[in-house]
């Protein structure tokens, strides 16, 4: 079951997330709403409570992680900034995904 949860997580958090949503979800309510709506819908297979808790926790993680990242990078030259050269960017993605996977494992253990 964990494998299915991780596959659905990958689909909902990466494949179905538009670039605009990824760039704006920490600062734009509509972007976050779209992202969390997709997360919720993709996890409905495991029931509305599981999907709702996962979506809520996912939103809290994303909002705080990416707000912190942007705050740490606030002095960067926005026009010349290359995120693909930024170690902090990849460390942030890694930490973000670690928290999401931990959430799924904990919710799965509590609900199944």
| φ and ψ at residue 43, rounded to 5 degrees | -100, 5
d(CA 11, CA 6): 9
Q: Are 60 and 22 in contact (CB under 8 A)?
A: no
> Would you kindly state where each structural domain of the chain is located, as residue ranges?
2-111
| 110 token code pair | 């509590």
Give residue-wise pLDDT tens across range 46-75. 999 999 999 999 999 999 998 888 888 877
> What confidence tier does 39 reach under pLDDT thresholds 50, 70, 90?
very high
d(CA 47, CA 51): 6
- Res 29: pLDDT: 94
- Res 80: pLDDT: 73
Global pTM?
A: 0.85
Q: Give how far Cα 15 sits from Cα of 5, 35, 42, 81, Å.
A: 15, 11, 12, 24
């Amino acid at each position: 079951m964990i494998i299915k949860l991780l596959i659905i997580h990958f689909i909902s958090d990466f494949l179905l997330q538009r670039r605009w949503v990824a760039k704006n979800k920490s600062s734009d309510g509509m972007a976050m709403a779209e992202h969390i709506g997709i997360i919720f819908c993709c996890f409905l297979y495991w029931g509305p409570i599981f999907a709702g808790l996962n979506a809520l926790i996912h939103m809290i993680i994303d909002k705080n992680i990416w707000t912190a990242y942007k705050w740490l990078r606030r002095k960067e030259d926005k026009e010349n900034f290359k995120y693909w050269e930024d170690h902090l960017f990849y460390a942030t993605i890694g930490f973000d995904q670690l928290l999401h996977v931990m959430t799924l494992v904990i919710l799965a253990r509590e609900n199944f």
